[in-house]
Chain A
Amino acid sequence: MVETVSDLVMEIPCRAPQIKLLASLLGEDECPLPSSIFMYGHSGTGKTLVTTAVLERLGVLTSHVNCIEFYNSRVMYETILNQLSGTVPTSNNNYSSYASCDNLGDFVGHIRNIGSKTKQRMAIVLEHSERLRDCDANILPVLCRLQELTRDVNIVVIFLSTLPIDKFRAATGFLEPIVIHFPQYTKDELVEILMRQRPPRYSEEFYKNYINLVLSVFYLATKGFPELQHQVQLNFKAYCEPVEKGDAEEYDIRRLWRNIEPHLKKAMSSVYLREVSSAQYERMQQLTETAPQDVALVKAGLTSKMELPFYSKFLLIAAYLASYNPARTDKRYFMKHHGKQRNTKAKIKAKERSSSQLVGPKPFPLDRLLAIFYSIVDDKVTPTANVFSQISTLVTLRLVTQVGGDDQLDAPKYKCAVPLDFIRSVARMVSFDIVRYLYDYS
């Protein structure tokens, strides 16, 4: 066992304590297994990797399932039983599984049967086990004490989760599993792991510098390994470009940094947020000259792709004004003759405190929406069926939401569900100065 574990430690970097702990807990062949183990840590800290590798090396018969896949518990039971018994549903056996099993009692019974047949040690690995909380209440306690319930089948249940175990406890409690924590990689460890993917053409130092540059931009925003790895892979081409063209040498760090920095910043605001897919981004890298405008275009396209009819635009603007302005200021903004108002200091302060940009949109009645709409549209609009149907279209497009009142006819209330940037671009299209009418900004 010692050899296999030390092999693994070499293979999987920076996870030595966890590998050793897990391997020693599981013990060597024929050792009784602990009844359940709970492993938690952020995503991308190697929980699955370590578990599967250790179980494989120790020769434990493993069933590995992901709890996201199961829309009901029956599917989960049957999958686990299939994997443990080695049944594969194929055309030969008419796609039948090991046994049909739709409750925990049967499940435990079948596990007992399998256990008495194979003399091997068994393990059930449950990925994303936080989903188990949404299943029946008794699944978790049963899995935690599966060994006891199956009466001496040598089986261990391993839970993998991104949440700590405190979030799992409920009702009268359960047999507490052994908890193993997978800490997030430190910066040095990240560099070490990322170094493993160095393309052989470039020197170690060159690649290390590059990784450090990427980390200096992204590390503050995310520590997650998968994201960082993705960014490192994505931007490497752009980083090498000056070297390939002969503009810079490999050791000319400052020039390389000046070259890559805008790229990384751009990646942060586009690929990191997945506003641009990585394929698109790579294509953009190839057309380096036009790249900055492209990003702007794609971003603009996303936010204002929606092409609305003329009156719908005004309806939306009216809805925005209605939900972000207090009703008492309507008179001032939308009527021709209103008394002048002075901004006192106290008023400004009060405004700041309850700024509706912070609190969110307020619901408004349909009448108010129409009143504002008529006041901001210059020409005469007859309240035809068309106008009203446009309002309900806005609701189905999720630009406006209906709150409360399932009654369609009798005074429904609405809320505008559109951010300020969006409404600004809409207002610009119809050349309407929205900021002048917004209470928070005037």
Chain B
Amino acid sequence: MGLKRQKSPVRSDPDLMKEVQKQLRLNLRLWGTTKEAGKRLKSLYSEEAQHLKDLMTRTLTLGESNSALVLAARGMGKSSLVNTVIEKLEASGTLGEGVVVRLSGLLQTDDRLALKEITCQLKLENATANKVFGSFAENLAFLLESLRCGSKETSKPVIFILDEFDLFCHHRNQTLLYNLFDVAQSAQAPICVLGLTCRLDVIELLEKRVKSRFSHRQIHLFPEDKFDPHYLNIFEQLLELPDSFPSKDFSRKWNSDVAVLLKDSEVIQVLKRLHNTTKDVRALKTLLLLCVSQLSSDQPQMTGHMFMRAQSLFASEAKTNMLQGISVLQLCLIIAMKHLTTIYEGEPFNFEMVFHEYRKFSRQRSTMQSFERPVVFKAFDQLKCLELVRSVDNNRGTQREYQLVQLMMTPLQVTEALGQLPGIPTDIQQWAASSLG
């Protein structure tokens, strides 16, 4: 091993690096699962996975109908967990004849579309060549009929996976949910309804009749928030090259390098900071993608420096960034507005007041040239377009100079942002700091 390390040159083979990039990006693909990630998820949520597996197995083998909700925050691995479980079932042959129907609340925005999608995915007779005939009522009747006439023995089990379940609750009368849960409740074709959502109060969204037909089986996925073994394990797994990687030597070296990376104080610091802000694995993936994209044949190894750079890209403050790009005149207006907000305790103001305040400043104290009213108004309008200023009521009738607006930043934010901006004239800085305005 040691020998090999000496041999490997600093500049590495571009083709190899291409392969590495590709593999790592596959690992980091912002969603979804590789085999390894699936395994990790299963070990992490072993109880929940077992629960899901039991549910589905019972539907598939015994012909029981079930319903359950999987609840977790965004990026916690709901979809990937369900997918892994289904893959496992498929691999073990339990899935057999069963059909999986996947719906997303984002795409199927009403019941008609959802029904179309279900008929397509179930490959029912009247769905030929991706075209569904008939009206909504006909479709529903047909679907229910085909589900109803089935029984445990004769019909295939169906697993419905409803992604973004909370959006299905906003459909008219919740007809689809009612029917699905109703079939699940009564002795008809065996179906398993799995809802995935990030809203914890989703049960409250259901109508009473729908709620009473739901089995109230809820599976919560909570993040394991230990930093040391857990978070770092994820980190390691995301960066590891799999055994299937063509160049074995390189992957072995790479993996040991990743293990070394975990002892780098810079890396740990960056990771800790991210972990303190969010436990979302997707944020970690984004950060790592920013690091991986810095790899090149000149720089074939991950370094702590890369992580620092990625972090600075990742965690830049948008408001300060936007303020950096505005002109001095606009900055003056922001300061004037800040003073108005502090003096009148958050009451909305209009352009005339801001202009009055600005003129007081530019006439008395400033060495800067003072601008004419229309020029100032243009600057004010641009601030509105940047949504740093928002009008309070959308009153079309009033003149634009007199429309009431509010500053979308707190005075404290303004002061902080000004502190970070380079090259502000001194008199403006003093004006900003003075409390009298």
Task: Give the B-binding residues of A (Cβ under 8 A).
Answer: 2, 21, 24-25, 27-28, 30-32, 34-35, 40-42, 45, 103-105, 108, 136, 138, 141-142, 145, 147-149, 162-167, 172-173, 175-176, 178-181, 183-184, 219-223, 268-269, 272-273, 275, 357-361, 401-403, 415, 417, 419
Knowing A103-B113, A176-B283, say if A162 contacts B386 (CB, 8 Å): yes
Number of interface residues of B (CB under 8 A): 64
Q: Which of B396-420 contact A (CB under 8 A)?
A: 397-399, 401-402
Complex contact A357–B352 (CB within 8 A) = yes
B64 within 8 A of A: no
A402 CA to B395 CA in the complex, in Å? 12
Chain B residues positioned under 8 Å from A28 (CB to CB): 18, 21
A384 CA to B413 CA in the complex, in Å? 59
Q: For residue B303, give the distance in angstroms from its CB to the closest CB of chain A.
A: 15
Complex contact A178–B286 (CB within 8 A) = yes
Complex contact A220–B328 (CB within 8 A) = yes
Name the one of A27, A220, A269 contacting B293, with C-beta atoms under 8 angstroms: A27
Chain A residues positioned under 8 Å from B79 (CB to CB): 148
Q: Which of B101-149 contact A (CB under 8 A)?
A: 104-109, 113, 117
Complex contact A219–B327 (CB within 8 A) = yes
Complex contact B399–A273 (CB within 8 A) = no
A105 CA to B108 CA in the complex, in Å? 6
Complex contact B31–A175 (CB within 8 A) = yes
Name the one of B105, B322, B369, B401 contacting A220, with C-beta atoms under 8 angstroms: B369
Complex contact A223–B22 (CB within 8 A) = no
Complex contact A269–B375 (CB within 8 A) = yes
Chain A residues positioned under 8 Å from B216 (CB to CB): none
Complex contact A104–B26 (CB within 8 A) = no
Chain A residues positioned under 8 Å from B401 (CB to CB): 360, 419
Q: For residue B273, give the distance in angstroms from its CB to the closest CB of chain A.
A: 17
How many Cβ-Cβ contacts under 8 Å join chain A to chain B? 166
Chain B residues positioned under 8 Å from A45 (CB to CB): 325
Since A175-B74, A402-B397 are in contact, a sample of 17 more A-B pairs with Cβ atoms closer than 8 Å, ordered by chain A residue number, is A27-B22, A31-B25, A32-B26, A35-B31, A105-B113, A147-B30, A172-B74, A172-B166, A176-B283, A183-B321, A184-B325, A184-B326, A221-B327, A221-B329, A221-B371, A272-B375, A273-B375
A197 CA to B106 CA in the complex, in Å? 48
Knowing A164-B319, A358-B353, say if A175 contacts B282 (CB, 8 Å): yes
Complex contact A104–B109 (CB within 8 A) = yes
A385 CA to B369 CA in the complex, in Å? 52
Q: For residue B18, give the distance in angstroms from its CB to the closest CB of chain A.
A: 6
Residue of B nearest to A273 (CB): B374
Name the one of B294, B325, B329, B369 contacting A24, with C-beta atoms under 8 angstroms: B294
Name the one of A108, A162, A164, A165 contacting B107, with C-beta atoms under 8 angstroms: A108
Chain B residues positioned under 8 Å from A147 (CB to CB): 29-31
* Interface pairs A-B: 4 shortest CB-CB: A360-B402, A184-B325, A164-B318, A24-B293
Q: For residue A380, give the distance in angstroms from its CB to the closest CB of chain B.
A: 33
Complex contact A360–B399 (CB within 8 A) = yes
Residue of B nearest to A163 (CB): B387
Chain A residues positioned under 8 Å from B324 (CB to CB): 183-184
B296 within 8 A of A: yes
A-B contact pairs, 15 of them (CB 8 A): A21-B313, A27-B293, A28-B18, A28-B21, A34-B30, A42-B326, A138-B105, A138-B106, A141-B106, A178-B286, A181-B316, A221-B329, A221-B379, A358-B353, A361-B402
Complex contact A220–B353 (CB within 8 A) = no
Chain B residues positioned under 8 Å from A35 (CB to CB): 29-31
Complex contact A165–B31 (CB within 8 A) = no
Name the one of A167, A180, A268 contacting B375, with C-beta atoms under 8 angstroms: A268
Task: Give the A-binding residues of B (Cβ under 8 A).
Answer: 18, 21-22, 25-26, 29-32, 74-75, 79, 104-109, 113, 117, 166-167, 198-199, 282-283, 286, 289-290, 293-294, 296, 313, 316, 318-319, 321-322, 324-329, 350, 352-353, 356, 368-369, 371-372, 374-375, 378-379, 385-387, 397-399, 401-402
A32 CA to B167 CA in the complex, in Å? 30
Residue of B nearest to A24 (CB): B293
A359 CA to B106 CA in the complex, in Å? 46
A32 CA to B87 CA in the complex, in Å? 23
Chain A residues positioned under 8 Å from B21 (CB to CB): 27-28, 31
Residue of B nearest to A162 (CB): B386
A35 CA to B109 CA in the complex, in Å? 22
Chain A residues positioned under 8 Å from B371 (CB to CB): 220-221
Complex contact B375–A221 (CB within 8 A) = yes
Chain B residues positioned under 8 Å from A359 (CB to CB): 350, 352, 402
A49 CA to B401 CA in the complex, in Å? 35
Complex contact B32–A183 (CB within 8 A) = no
A415 CA to B397 CA in the complex, in Å? 9
A263 CA to B399 CA in the complex, in Å? 31
Q: For residue A147, give the distance in angstroms from its CB to the closest CB of chain B.
A: 7
Residue of A nearest to B22 (CB): A31
Complex contact B386–A163 (CB within 8 A) = yes
Chain A residues positioned under 8 Å from B375 (CB to CB): 221, 268-269, 272-273
Name the one of B109, B325, B385 contacting A223, with C-beta atoms under 8 angstroms: B325
Chain B residues positioned under 8 Å from A357 (CB to CB): 352
Complex contact B397–A403 (CB within 8 A) = yes
Name the one of B117, B293, B296 contacting A105, with C-beta atoms under 8 angstroms: B117
Complex contact B29–A149 (CB within 8 A) = no
Complex contact A165–B318 (CB within 8 A) = yes
Residue of A nearest to B294 (CB): A24
Chain A residues positioned under 8 Å from B319 (CB to CB): 164, 166
Residue of B nearest to A107 (CB): B107
Q: For residue A109, give the distance in angstroms from its CB to the closest CB of chain B.
A: 8
Name the one of A27, A167, A181, A360 contacting B387, with C-beta atoms under 8 angstroms: A167
Q: For residue A269, give the distance in angstroms from its CB to the closest CB of chain B.
A: 6
A223 CA to B423 CA in the complex, in Å? 14
A268 CA to B327 CA in the complex, in Å? 15
Residue of B nearest to A130 (CB): B387
Chain A residues positioned under 8 Å from B329 (CB to CB): 220-222
Complex contact B104–A149 (CB within 8 A) = yes
Name the one of A30, A31, A104, A269 contacting B374, with C-beta atoms under 8 angstroms: A269
Q: For residue A137, give the distance in angstroms from its CB to the closest CB of chain B.
A: 9
Q: For residue B164, give the distance in angstroms from its CB to the closest CB of chain A.
A: 8
A269 CA to B374 CA in the complex, in Å? 8
Q: For residue A17, give the distance in angstroms from its CB to the closest CB of chain B.
A: 10
Complex contact B293–A138 (CB within 8 A) = no
Complex contact A358–B356 (CB within 8 A) = yes
Complex contact B402–A142 (CB within 8 A) = no
Complex contact A25–B289 (CB within 8 A) = yes
Name the one of A32, A163, A173 contacting B198, with C-beta atoms under 8 angstroms: A173
Residue of B nearest to A184 (CB): B325
Chain B residues positioned under 8 Å from A172 (CB to CB): 74, 166, 198-199
A184 CA to B382 CA in the complex, in Å? 15
Chain A residues positioned under 8 Å from B105 (CB to CB): 138
Complex contact B106–A104 (CB within 8 A) = yes
Name the one of B29, B318, B378 contacting A273, with C-beta atoms under 8 angstroms: B378
Chain A residues positioned under 8 Å from B385 (CB to CB): 162
Q: For residue A169, give the distance in angstroms from its CB to the closest CB of chain B.
A: 11
Chain A residues positioned under 8 Å from B326 (CB to CB): 42, 184, 223
Name the one of A181, A273, A401 contacting B397, with C-beta atoms under 8 angstroms: A401
Chain A residues positioned under 8 Å from B107 (CB to CB): 103-105, 108, 138, 142, 149
Chain B residues positioned under 8 Å from A269 (CB to CB): 372, 374-375
Complex contact B22–A32 (CB within 8 A) = yes
Residue of A nearest to B327 (CB): A223
Residue of B nearest to A174 (CB): B74
A180 CA to B316 CA in the complex, in Å? 10
Complex contact B318–A173 (CB within 8 A) = no
Complex contact A176–B286 (CB within 8 A) = yes
Residue in B26, B74, B402 whose Cβ sees the most chain A Cβ within 10 Å:
B402
A163 CA to B199 CA in the complex, in Å? 28
A272 CA to B283 CA in the complex, in Å? 44
